[in-house]
């Protein structure tokens, strides 16, 4: 019985730990996202690397994901901050409101991509788009 229990613990750890490593790696990549985009982009309408990494981090338990997105917002590039705001809006709406308010006079600019269109917007403008539901479909 002890051997079976030990085997199950080892088996569980061998599946959980790689998933955490994957999420940590995704969070690091997301912190330097090339652009902020959800949905198909480019001629091939492919999912952006940033969105793929966003989904990996968001799939973590709620508290873990929120901490990672808070870290990304604090230290990531402007595009990463956009992804972090989407997650924080879903996970902690009151925190999102406080962050959005703090961005009102910010000049931080985010490179966004929708389909084949690349555009620069202020982070506050991205936050307003998030708040009205423009990125709820992810």
Per residue in 72-122, pLDDT (tens digit) is 999 999 999 999 999 999 999 999 999 999 999 999 999 999 999 999 999
Tell me how long the chain is. Answer: 138
Q: How far apart are CA 53 and CA 97, in angstroms?
A: 24
User: pLDDT by residue (tens digit) across 8-34?
Assistant: 444 444 444 445 569 999 999 999 999
Cα gap 24→1, rounded to integer Å: 34
Considering only CA atoms, which of 64, 67, 63, 37 is closest in space to residue 49?
37
Return the residue matching tokens 């202020």: 122
């Amino acid at each position: 019985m002890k051997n079976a229990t030990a085997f199950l613990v080892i088996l569980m750890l061998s599946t959980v730990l790689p998933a955490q490593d994957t999420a940590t790696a995704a969070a690091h990549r997301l912190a330097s996202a090339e652009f902020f985009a959800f949905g198909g982009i480019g001629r091939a309408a492919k999912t952006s690397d940033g969105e793929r990494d966003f989904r990996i981090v968001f799939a973590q338990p709620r508290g873990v994901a929120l901490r990672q997105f808070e870290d990304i917002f604090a230290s990531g590039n402007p595009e990463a901050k956009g992804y972090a705001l989407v997650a924080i809006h879903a996970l902690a709406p009151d925190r999102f409101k406080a962050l959005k308010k703090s961005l009102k006079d910010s000049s931080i600019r985010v490179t966004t991509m929708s389909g084949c269109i690349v555009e620069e917007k202020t982070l506050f403008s991205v936050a307003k788009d998030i708040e009205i539901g423009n990125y709820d479909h992810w």
